[in-house]
Structure 1
Amino acid sequence: MGLEFVVFIIIGINALVSFKGFNDMAFFRKYEFHVGSIRAGDQVRMFTSAFLHADLQHLIFNMITLYFFGPTVVYYLGTLGFVMVYLISLVAGNLLTLYFHKNDYSYRAIGASGAVMGIVFSSILLNPHATINYFIPAYLFGIFYLLYSIYGMRAKNDNIGHTAHFGGAIGGYAVTLARMPELFYTETIYVIILAVPIIILFIMAKMGKL
Structure 2
Amino acid sequence: MSENGQDGGNVGESERQPIFLLPGIVTALIGLITAIHIAATLVLNQNGQLQLIYWFAFLPARIAASTQQLDLALPLIWTPFTHALLHAGWEHLIFNMAWLAIFGTPVARRYGAIPMLVIFFLTSAAGAAFFAVTDWNSGAYLVGASGGIAGLTGAGVRFMFQPVIVTQHPETGERIVLGRKLASLSEVMREPRARTFSLFWLILNAAVPLYPLFTGEVVQIAWQAHLGGFIAGFVLVGLFERAAIARQ
Runs of 4+ in 1 over 6 A off after TM superposition: none
Which segments of 5 or more consecutive residues in structure 2 lack a partner in the other structure? 1-17, 67-72, 164-192, 213-217, 243-248
Which of 61, 69, 85 is 1:36 aligned to?
A: 61
1:101 aligns with 2:142: no
Which of 8, 27, 50 is 1:26 aligned to?
A: 50
The sequence identity of aligned pairs, in percent, is: 24
Q: Give 1:173's aligned amino acid.
A: F
1:12 aligns with 2:31: yes
Which of 141, 144, 149 is 2:200 aligned to?
A: 144
Alignment of 1:76-155 (within 5 A): 76-102=110-136, 104-129=137-162, 140-155=196-211
Q: Residue 59 of structure 1 corresponds to which residue in structure 2? A: 93
Alignment of 1:191-206 (within 5 A): none
Q: How many residues align?
A: 174
In the superposition, relative to structure 1, how do residues 111 and 3 fare at CA in structure 2: closer, same or farther (>3 Å)?
closer
CA contact (8 A) 1:21 1:27 kept: no
In the superposition, relative to structure 1, how do residues 112 and 28 fare at CA in structure 2: closer, same or farther (>3 Å)?
same
Deviations 1:9-42 (A, max 9, x none): 1111211222333344324432222222354313
In the superposition, relative to structure 1, how do residues 174 and 16 fare at CA in structure 2: closer, same or farther (>3 Å)?
same
Q: Is the deviation greater in 73-82 or in 164-173? A: 73-82
Q: In structure 1, what is the Cα distance between the partners aligned to 2:194 and 2:34?
A: 25
TM-score normalised by structure 2 residue count? 0.61
Q: Is the deviation greater in 4-13 or in 29-38? A: 29-38
User: RMSD of the TM alignment (CA)?
Assistant: 2.6
Q: In structure 2, what is the Cα distance between the partners aligned to 1:27 and 1:19?
A: 16
Q: In structure 2, what is the Cα distance between the partners aligned to 1:151 and 1:14?
A: 28
TM-score normalised by structure 1 residue count? 0.71
Relative contact order (alpha carbons < 8 A, sep ≥ 6): 1 or 2 greater? 1
Which segments of 5 or more consecutive residues in structure 1 lack a partner in the other structure? 131-136, 182-210
Larger radius of gyration: 2
Q: In structure 2, what is the Cα distance between the partners aligned to 1:138 and 1:70?
A: 17
